[in-house]
Structure 1
Amino acid sequence: MGTGRGSLCVSVLDGCIYAVGGKSNGSILSTVERLDPRVGRWEEVCPMSTPRIGHGSAVLHDALYVVGGLNEISDSLSSAEMYDSRANKWTSVANMNSGRDGVGLSAVNGKLYAIGGYRDNSVEVFDSKTYQWKHHSNMNCKRLDPGVAVLQKP
């Protein structure tokens, strides 16, 4: 990578690895780097509109989504952005119902699930047909940086 970074999100889109946001030398980053394993080198792509740390990322319908996190003044973010790799462009999508830092994000059956966070025990779901977030359920406790995985039924 061109920029060393911690507390970033990593996702795979179109066979490439994306390193999104994070922190470097005390600064919260909006920058995004992509590794194409066929070429074997990292390159910068369009930065997010908002610097983020403690955010979540997932791929849905050939687009990379990033939600929540903290900005450079430690505001817990409810905002969400979508990256189109063909246009090399980020677009804002509907805000979540609450700010979430340390959020887990996963894509399942055409929807995004934002899970927990530092201050939250709830789960929100983003419907890609309506482009709206709705409360889904509550967990029994708050969960910071939850590991999230999806298992397809055979």
Structure 2
Amino acid sequence: MLTRFRTAVAAVLAFSAPVFAADAAPAKAVELPPMPKAVSSFGAIECDGYVYIYGGHAGKTHNYDTKSVLGTFHRIKLDGGTKWEELPSGPIAQGMNLVAHKGKVYRIGGMQPRNAPGEASDNYSTASCARFDPKTGKWEDIAALPVPRSSHDVVAVGDKLIVVGGWQMKGKDEKPVWPEAALVLDLASAKPEWKSIPQPFQRRALTAAAVGNKVYVLGGLGNKGGDKRVDVLDVATEKWSTGPAVPGGERVAFSPAACTVNGKLILNTSEGPVYRLTAAGDGWEKVGAVAKTRIVARLVPFGADRVVLLGGAAAGGGGNVDSLEVISIATRGEPVAEK
């Protein structure tokens, strides 16, 4: 009887062991090659399985000139990509972003220095907007912004592009002007034109992401410094509300990184954690962490359960970063207490 029992137990263990081992095996690590150049304040977006990057600042912090701000444009395939593909360049720009819509990539505004290296910075925001078609490999101009803008963000909700925050830089001899409205461009219109929606804040160096019909505007800098506030625009009603503040210390307000993954808002700050907005939209939960903390970086979705953090500047100092980091999003998050 004891022999039969031992035999049965051994059989169960033999059958169960492979299943347990498979469950415990770590996910295969995904590595992507570094960006062509270490940059911060650049544009990045995922579109049809590729991540596209444009422009940015490749020089020393707070030193801007016509050589250190770029107009280069590249992409790489997220799943299995081994080399960055160089695409047609455009005007130099930083403090801008890209947005994808129906397989095309849009570039909206940005800042352009007019001074040569070694000269005093002379920075101007631009109203330039353009669309890149991967099928033709060409850029085409679209409706320019009503007023030049940089240090803003842009997202797509349905057929509409939404620009939030930022400011207008007017050169070394004039103070920047802070816009009081968000901008909307309806791409489905026969003749798309920018429309204004009053915004209840004046901030730049922020980030934005769209979840359904809502645009979340996260963090940024105001006239009095960092602001962890989260403003939420319902595009259908054009009404604003507030969401739970960006978690962490006061410094996390400066240029966090965000994107939407599988219908969920994902956020990374300079302190390192990766957060997800709760299903109720009333708080944050920690779902991961990065190995290298950064500011002025970009976050893009990678499938249904991962994100990629690109570029930026090292949060603790040390200059710009060219590396990409793939972070898996935990299924079950760790609740985050408000500070």
Fold in common (TM above 0.5): yes
Give the letter aligned to residue 211 of structure 2: V
Larger helix fraction of residues: 2
Distance 1:90 1:81 in 2: 10
1:46-96 Cα deviation digits (max 9, x unpaired): 101121111011000111111110113423333111112243523324222
Distance 2:97 2:191 in 1: 18
1:18-43 Cα deviation digits (max 9, x unpaired): 11100123321011011111111111
Give the corresponding residue for 1:152.
262
Superposition map of 1:109-120 within 5 A? 109-119=212-222, 120=227
Contact 1:97–1:134 (CA<8 Å) still a contact in 2? Answer: no
Superposition map of 1:1-154 within 5 A? 1-24=89-112, 25=114, 26-72=123-169, 73-86=175-188, 87-119=190-222, 120-139=227-246, 140=248, 141=250, 143-152=253-262
Q: Share of identical aligned residues, percent? A: 24
Contact 1:126–1:134 (CA<8 Å) still a contact in 2? Answer: yes
Give the letter aligned to residue 141 of structure 2: E
- Cα deviation, residue 14, structure 1: 2.0
Contact 1:77–1:101 (CA<8 Å) still a contact in 2? Answer: no
Give the letter aligned to residue 229 of structure 2: S
Distance 1:11 1:75 in 2: 24
Give the corresponding residue for 2:282.
none
Instruction: Give the SS at the match of 2:198.
Output: coil
Give the letter aligned to residue 148 of structure 2: P
Shift of the 31–68 alpha-carbon distance from structure 1 to 2, 3 Å rule, reads same
Unaligned runs of 5+ in 1: none
1:96-129 Cα deviation digits (max 9, x unpaired): 2110101111100210001010132100101123
Distance 2:211 2:193 in 1: 21
Distance 1:114 1:90 in 2: 22
Distance 2:125 2:147 in 1: 10
| Farther-moved stretch of structure 1 (138-147 vs 15-24) | 138-147
TM-score, length of structure 1 as denominator length: 0.89
Question: Between Structure 1 and Structure 2, whose CA radius of gyration is higher?
Answer: 2
Unaligned runs of 5+ in 2: 1-88, 115-122, 170-174, 264-303, 305-339
Higher relative contact order at CA 8 Å, sep ≥6: structure 1 or structure 2?
A: 1
Contact 1:67–1:78 (CA<8 Å) still a contact in 2? Answer: no
